[in-house]
């Protein structure tokens, strides 16, 4: 088992289990055609330098996409996605990938790490376990 930088050639495999993960509650999303791949390819353009996959030989078990930018007090990271293939969830792979990434970000002297999560998803408690908490001064807004 290794963690390595993500490559564009990884995106097709990641898109397949990304669709599977997001088809489960509470999301229950139905990704059409090539949209999952296009979504990840778009994120990859800005995230590839600080994003990783967890792989066992040629099989990717999970990935994390991290966008790094500058903010007033220094580097800031935004975790765009962290997804473990549903058939490998609850085996500690997400923990390994998150801890590895947070360690890399610490070495880059990142001042803050942000992410969005659904309060009804298992990921909410996962992120709390890794030291994330609700930001009292931020709100996600949406318009349909």
104-117 burial, b for 16+ CB within 10 Å, e for fewer?
bbeeeebeebeeeb
- At residue 47, the 3 state secondary structure works out as helix
Q: Is the pLDDT of residue 144 over 90?
A: no
Per-residue pLDDT at 103? 96
Q: Kind and range of the H or E element at 70? A: strand 59-71
pLDDT class of 121 with cuts at 50, 70, 90: confident
**Quick one: DSSP state of residue 121?**
S
Q: Is the pLDDT of residue 78 over 80?
A: yes
Mean pLDDT of the chain: 91
CA torsion sign, 129 to 126 to 40 to 26? negative
What pTM did the predictor assign? 0.89
Per-residue pLDDT at 87? 93
CA torsion sign, 40 to 44 to 48 to 51? negative
The residues, ordered by sequence, that sit 6+ positions from 57 with a Cβ below 8 Å of its Cβ are none
- Which residue segments constitute the domains of the chain, with CATH numbers given? 2-129 (3.40.630.30)
pLDDT class of 133 with cuts at 50, 70, 90: confident
């Amino acid at each position: 088992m290794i963690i390595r930088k993500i490559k564009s050639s990884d995106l097709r495999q990641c898109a397949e289990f990304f669709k599977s993960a997001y088809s489960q509650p509470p999301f229950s999303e139905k990704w059409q055609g090539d949209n999952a791949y296009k979504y990840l390819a778009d994120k990859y353009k800005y995230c590839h330098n600080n994003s990783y996959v967890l792989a066992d030989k040629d099989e990717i078990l999970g990935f994390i996409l991290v966008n790094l930018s500058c903010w007033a007090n220094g580097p800031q990271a935004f975790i765009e996605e962290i997804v473990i293939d549903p058939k490998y969830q609850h085996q500690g792979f997400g923990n390994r990938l998150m801890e590895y990434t947070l360690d890399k970000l610490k070495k880059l002297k990142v001042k803050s790490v942000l992410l969005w999560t659904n309060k009804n998803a298992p990921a909410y408690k996962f992120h709390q376990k890794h030291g994330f908490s609700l930001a009292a001064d931020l709100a996600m807004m949406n318009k349909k």
